Structure 1
Amino acid sequence: MEWYVETERLAMRQFTLADVELLVDLDSDVEVMRYLTGQPTPREQIADQDLPAILATYDSHPGLGKWAAYERTTGRFIGWFSLDPGLPGEAELGYRLRRDAWGFGYAGEGAIALVRKGFAELGLTRINAITMAVNTGSRKVMQKAGLRFVRLFHEHFDDPLPGTEHGEVEYEITR
């Protein structure tokens, strides 16, 4: 198997069509989805929309996209990390981990690896990340990866999640 990124404890690879159930399982945990949609993602959406979009990004933006993440010692799927395409020379950092992988430093380790790869190998000039202001765990990961607070902003949502009233935050790091 060809790994996109390897760290001391993690290995990341491209997703394939065979990975639908991994994503369904990940997105079925309401705590994992708490600051995203607040509810599980329907299997049909993952199979018919989300996964095809992930796979299309590999062709349209080589080197960027979402990467399935595994513990190196056990081979266990723990979630995904991403460098999603933005403006030319820019990407948005993202991560979604299974709840049983929380608290072990995997999010910071994976995020740091992608930031390094983005600048050293992909020639990016800016990497940003966005989350709800109340998502302190994700904000800590952004800071561990070297990103710095840029702004607090408010968006309108027809069906806002609890905490939306506190706004969204953006962090960034530049080369």
Structure 2
Amino acid sequence: MVGTFLETERLTLRRITAADADLLVELDSDPAVMRYLTGGVPTSRERVETHFLPRMLAHAERGHGYGFFLAHEKASGEFLGWFHLRPDPDGPADEPELGYRLRQAAWGKGYATEGSLALVEKAFTELGAKRVFATTMAVNSGSRRVMEKAGLRYARTFFADWADPIEGSEHGEVEYSVDRSEWRK
């Protein structure tokens, strides 16, 4: 695949481009995919094109090898979703956040774990990361399992001040992380 950033046994990850708006809109139109992000409310095309896509593209422009990556199944070329590995805007450049959003058809097949494991390895072996972290709603047990399978461990529970809280937010958010020395073990 042209522009491949990373390959795993079953996945090809490439940087997101401006031409990917349709795929992002499709992904964010599924209420189940958006359950732990917006309470199931789809993201409008306008919001994808004017807000999310420019932010996603900006990470690649910052360098360091971090950014947002579309995931496709190697065998079929089918679009599965996206992953990100990027520093928090207010955090250290060598402590990227891992994230993922996959279509329902890709759930339960190990793709999120496979992509996450590969990105954590790349962060430590090629990108100079000291620590990788991920966050999700405390009630999102599926995402928490992926984080654990990717080698991240529970670090803390915190409560964010959301303008429009969704069901489950009263239980807080959780952060999982792994640092380079823990990962080598």
Q: TM-score, normalised by structure 2?
A: 0.92
Residue correspondences, number: 175
CA distance in 1, matches of 2:101, 2:56: 14
User: 1:63 touches 1:122 (CA, 8 Å); kept in 2?
Assistant: yes
* Greater mean alpha carbon deviation, residues 115-124 or residues 57-66: 57-66
Q: Which residue of 2 aligns with 1:82?
A: 84
Which of 149, 154, 158 aligns to 1:153? It is 158
Query: How far did 1:17 drift?
Result: 1.2
User: 1:61 touches 1:85 (CA, 8 Å); kept in 2?
Assistant: no
Q: Which residue of 2 aligns with 1:70?
A: 72
Query: How far did 1:99 drift?
Result: 0.6
Q: Which residue of 2 aligns with 1:41?
A: 43
Q: Secondary structure at the match of 2:51?
A: helix
Runs of 4+ in structure 1 deviating by more than 4 angstroms, as ranges, are none
Identity of aligned residues (%): 55
User: 2:70 touches 2:83 (CA, 8 Å); kept in 1?
Assistant: yes
Q: Which residue of 2 aligns with 1:112?
A: 117
Residue ranges of structure 2 left out of the alignment (5+ in a row): 181-185
User: 2:64 touches 2:127 (CA, 8 Å); kept in 1?
Assistant: no
Q: Which residue of 1 aligns with 2:105?
A: 100
Residue ranges of structure 1 left out of the alignment (5+ in a row): none
RMSD across aligned positions (CA): 0.9
Q: Deviations over 1:144-173 (max 9, x none)?
A: 000000001112223211111111100000
Does residue 140 in structure 1 map to residue 142 in structure 2?
no
User: 2:13 touches 2:72 (CA, 8 Å); kept in 1?
Assistant: yes
Does residue 52 in structure 1 map to residue 54 in structure 2?
yes
